[in-house]
Amino acid sequence: MDFSEPFDPRPADGVDASLVPRRTLRTGAKIPCIGLGTFGNDRFTPEEIARSVLGALSVGYRFIDCAAVYGNEPQIGEALRCAMHNGIAREELFISSKLWNDRHAPADVLPALKQSLADLGLDFLDMYFIHWPFPNTHAPGAAHDSRSPDARPYIHADYMATYRELEKAVDEGLIRHIGVSNTTIPKLNLLLADARIKPAANQMEMHPTFAQTGFLEYLKARDVAAIAYCPIGSPGRPKRDTDPSDVEAMTHPAVVAVAEAHGVHPALACVKWAVQRGQIPIPSSIHRAKYLANLKAAVSDPLTDAEMARIAEADCGSRLIKGQVFLWPGAASWKDLWDMDGVIAK
Ligand SMILES: NC(=O)c1ccc[n+]([C@@H]2O[C@H](COP(=O)([O-])OP(=O)(O)OC[C@H]3O[C@@H](n4cnc5c(N)ncnc54)[C@H](OP(=O)(O)O)[C@@H]3O)[C@@H](O)[C@H]2O)c1
């Protein structure tokens, strides 16, 4: 990729990165209150995503959320190298990646992590997530109702065997924090009891129409940060992740009304609400105007308590990323992935 155009670490319309509030993780390390997502949602090329990373770093982002399965870590690595070459220090950055489902076998975990490190051109990651709590995969473009014969429900002993490898990675200095993702309270209860090094964050879907308030309180009480994906309701998500019952956050009347009161796009009301609630949103866009607006929304013109309460009315439990392609043969519905009755589905 050609990053020959000059990189401006402080454009006049950007945000001073040192003024972006940071949250404190359980280790005492700091993480910016907003990050940039890098999933191309099957719509954007690795080069387009990498360019958005470079642009986002230029305008003041320091937290970039990556994943091996997004298929763009080598290109993002070039963007990170360019930014660091142009004066952004590694210690200012917070870079996360994720272990994909097909690398859960203990022998595969450290090689997968080292591949992400090599692709991103880094010596360590600030956080490494286990992307999903199952080793279940699906073919690209798999239909909603397809089931892999190898898929199976959550098995705690197997998950811990994967997790122990990440504890080793912390010991070896390859990662600074372990993150989990798409997990549930029953699964976290088991993990928190058994982990030698507790997870520092859970990455989970959260937006106004899927607020997960009880889960957020659970995490806060245990000093586990909530990293919010699809924070504005992922309007461009793949077709396989859409359902007629979905309630979109950006068009919800409460979100629209609050946005109008601030004279901003509803996406920005979602970002403000997320940051003020204490979760860490990772909205994505390849468009400079949008990712810059999201960062500015996180640091300026906060919502009032009444506006926060108004947006809270939008919550209707509308989960968008249901994950049905990860279901195992014999599972009843996508709800089995989420232990909605409080019991881990078998
Ligand atoms: N752990 C997991 O399993 C998991 C799952 C899903 C996502 N994630 C992470 O979360 C990140 C964000 O999720 P997401 O991209 O699905 O959802 P999202 O951030 O809620 O939505 C992204 C969409 O919102 C639009 N948008 C962004 N900023 C906007 C603004 N200021 N005004 C108007 N529209 C705006 C973008 O439009 P344009 O396309 O026009 O730019 C894009 O289509 C991903 O990139 C990924 O890093 C993790």
Full-model pTM: 0.97
Query: For the chain, what are the domain ranges?
Result: 17-338
User: Which residue is listed with tokens 């990556």?
Assistant: 66
Q: Which atom of ligand 1 is nearest to the CA of 293?
A: 31
- Spatial CA neighbour of 305 closest among 258, 271, 266: 258
Alpha-carbon distance of 228 to 60, in angstroms, equals: 19
**Cβ-contact 293, 272 below 8 angstroms:** no
Domain range 17-338, CATH class = alpha beta
Alpha-carbon distance of 143 to 223, in angstroms, equals: 38
Please provide the distance, in angstroms rounded to a whole number, between the alpha carbons at the two ends of the chain.
Answer: 46
For the chain, give the percent of residues with pLDDT over 70: 98
- At 3 the pLDDT is 67
Please state which of the ranges 3-7, 80-84, 293-297, 323-327 shows the lowest mean pLDDT.
3-7
The answer to whether residue 70 is catalytic is yes
Tens digit of each residue's pLDDT (9 = 90 or more) over 238-295: 887 889 999 999 999 999 999 999 999 999 999 999 999 999 999 999 999 999 999 9
142, pLDDT greater than 90:
no
Alpha-carbon distance of 262 to 246, in angstroms, equals: 26
4, pLDDT greater than 90:
no
Mean pLDDT, the chain, integer:
95
pLDDT band at 5 (very low <50, low <70, confident <90, very high): low
CA of 268 to the centre of ligand 1 (A): 12
**Cβ-contact 157, 116 below 8 angstroms:** no
- DSSP, collapsed to helix, strand or coil, labels residue 22 as strand
Contact partners, residue 114, CB within 8 Å, separation at least 6? 174
Q: Which atom of ligand 1 is nearest to the CA of 290?
A: 31
Length, in residues, of the chain: 346
Q: Residues enclosing ligand 1, CB less than 6 A?
A: 37-39, 41, 65, 131, 181-182, 203, 229-237, 265, 267-268, 282-287, 290, 293-294, 321
Tens digit of each residue's pLDDT (9 = 90 or more) over 27-77: 999 999 999 999 988 899 999 999 999 999 999 999 999 999 999 999 999
- At 26 the pLDDT is 98
